Amino acid sequence: MKTRSEALLRELLYAELNQSTQDEFQILAKLERLATTPQERGRYLSRKSRYLLEQENYQALMEVAEEFKKIEVKHPLAMAGDTDHLVTTKSLIAGLMEKVTAKADRIDREALEATITDDQQAALKDGSIPALQAFLDTYGSWSQAVEVRSTLAARLTERGQIQQAEFLLMLNRSDPDEQIAANATYELLELWQTAGLPHEAAALLEELDKKYAQVTLDTGITGKQYVNRFDRGSQTWTIFQAMQPLQREVSHLIIRQSDLGTPPPETRNTYKNYERKFLPPPEISQLLLKSGGQLHVINKHAGLTIGKIEVSDRISYPYHSQNTRVGHFIPLGSTRKIHGVSLLQLDEEISTPLWTQEFEDLNTSQSLFYVGPSGPRVCVFQWDNRLFGLNPATGKVLWERRNIPSKSGFLSDSSKGLIGDQQALVAFNINRTNYDVYSTITGELIRKGELDLNSRSRHVFGRKLFYETTSTTEKRVRLWDPLTDQHLLDEPVSNTGFSTQISETELAILLPPNRLRILNVETGETIIESIIPDEYLKSLNKFIGFKDQERYYFNFSYTTPRRRSPQNDFYVSDSFLNVVHVDNDLISIDGKTGQILWSRN
């Protein structure tokens, strides 16, 4: 009887908290006395942490985080009393610490930094994988996590857990601090060398040679010095040399077919009898061919099958591999289950996924999980009106939302209905203009809103969205950051605005009267701006851009072709290649000055 009455009192107190914040401190004190089991203790601490954050009592929040680590909460907690939003303690703590990072002032931060540094040194001194991981689970958003991630990556590599090590180094490589990013680039290069990926390693060697040439690594040498000392006999060096531009001027090319010898018999079967192909980003040296319940992993440089992975017969692959890529990790959705596939850890014959997470509490629908925005901390999936955030290293569910608006996200738009990065997610409603913004770390609702957008003219850059307004008086193009609800770009355009995505971080737009602007979408800053001659803009129908190391290239296509269409040969497919089809006018622009270098039709 006592247990039942305590449970009833506890629910009444939580209901009172959710209705009003008056007497919150006193109500929390009563709830603390009723929190006798680990699960109830976790629920109480979750609610208390929200109160402490509002009070800006960061020292007490740190104590809550420490207590969370000591209790074993087996089941996810309802976030702030919302039973449709469940979150694990690991995700809850990570979200709390991110908020502290963003909100604490200088004085508070200095006090917290001292405590966190002490914990960091204790974890590094211990040196065990559990101790290092426990520190990152709590303080992964703080600067002290960098050294711990690097140390943990080395420990995991020693144990053959290369994929998990790659996640950690990718996080360090995305750090805005140039020295941290350079050092992570060097460490990732060494990891890929160990994993037998010379093409990927050569691309990083190029970065150390150019981007980080003068940056001092933890080894005491600069990026350039590292390149100068690199093993000249390695395959990575040979590929790196082939990537270097010619030192002499080139006026024209002649391309001829040359048979260097009979290909190995097994290459004849590589591209036969597959159902679907999955192309990871161009810098990844593998591609995937699905045949039945197997994924054939192909080394695209050699044309050979290097492994097979057992997966479900029906799978969904990331729609935009650029927005869902996590190094050599590929998240796959299926019916009632999710696979995490690693291209770094392949067995000689047939491999299994890095992990498979099954879900028993779904209805009888045979719908697939859709793969959403993913990164080294969280991979997001959608099933019907439910969102899930999973840890890519383990496959464990970090959080779940069971109540996103009906027919929203991928069900409203299979390509751009659910966008985001490791900080924020945006799920667009069925009308494609209303939206909900969620935290990627915890699944918390950040904001609801509506955009005045033309759903046909959009580009996605992680969480940011470039779009054109539908105004009948003055059309505008905007680059929107949902995390801050700010526009990094807001410019008027003519009746038909043209834009093209150049890379993961670059967008080109045509602005009136005849300006071509290339934009850094991370900062909103203009990289270069050029004046385009009028003749290229008359009757313009299509505008495509791409780049190399020093130049940008733009193709202008017209409603009425200005030359005879090329003859196509359909016996050979170029769909496996990183190719851009051009016709009509092509211009080249200097990447530093914006000057038009040449044009041809």
pLDDT digit string, tens, across residues 213-234:
999 999 999 999 999 999 999 9
pLDDT at 571 over 60: no
pLDDT digits (tens, 9 = 90+) for 14-45: 877 777 767 888 888 888 888 888 888 888 88
Beta-bridge mates of residue 510: 516
Start-to-end CA distance of the chain, whole Å, equals: 87
The dihedral over CA atoms of 275, 280, 285, 291, expressed in degrees to the nearest 10, equals: -20
3-state secondary structure 141-203: CCCCHHHHHHHHHHHHHHCCCHHHHHHHHHHHHCCCCHHHHHHHHHHHHHHHHHCCCHHHHHH
Of 203-217, 287-301, 315-329, 398-412, where does the model show the most confidence? Answer: 203-217
pLDDT at residue 319 in the model? 64
DSSP codes joined into one string, 430-464? TTSSEEEEEETTT--EEEEEE---EEEEEEEETTE
User: Stretch 105-114: mean pLDDT, rounded?
Assistant: 85
Q: CATH code for 494-601?
A: 2.40.10.480
pLDDT in tens, 233-256: 999 999 999 998 888 888 888 888
pLDDT band at 103 (very low <50, low <70, confident <90, very high): confident
User: What's the pLDDT at 270?
Assistant: 77
pLDDT at 311: 93
Please determine, for residue 428, whether its predicted confidence score (pLDDT) is greater than 60: yes
pLDDT higher than threshold 90 for residue 444: yes
**Window from 100-104, 141-145, 514-518 with minimum mean pLDDT:** 100-104
Q: In this structure, are residues 212 and 220 in contact, taking their beta carbons and an 8 Å threshold?
A: no
Tens-digit pLDDT profile for residues 345-369: 887 788 999 999 999 888 777 788 9
Average pLDDT over every residue of 105-113:
85
For the entire predicted model, the pTM comes to 0.90
296-309 mean pLDDT: 90
Report how far residue 219's alpha carbon sits from residue 5's, in angstroms, rounded to the nearest whole number: 63
H helices of 546-594, in order, are none
**Can you tell me the mean pLDDT for 170-181?**
96
- What's the mean pLDDT when you consider all of the chain? 88
Give me the residue spans of the domains in the chain: 55-76+87-242, 494-601
Question: In this predicted model, what pLDDT tens digit does every residue of 75-102 receive, in sequence order?
Answer: 888 876 678 899 998 888 888 888 888 8
Q: What gap in Å lies between CA 520 and CA 203, rounded to an integer?
A: 22
Residue 355, helix vs strand vs coil: strand
Report which of residues 156 and 576 the model is more confident about: 156
Cβ distance 148 to 123 under 8 Å? yes
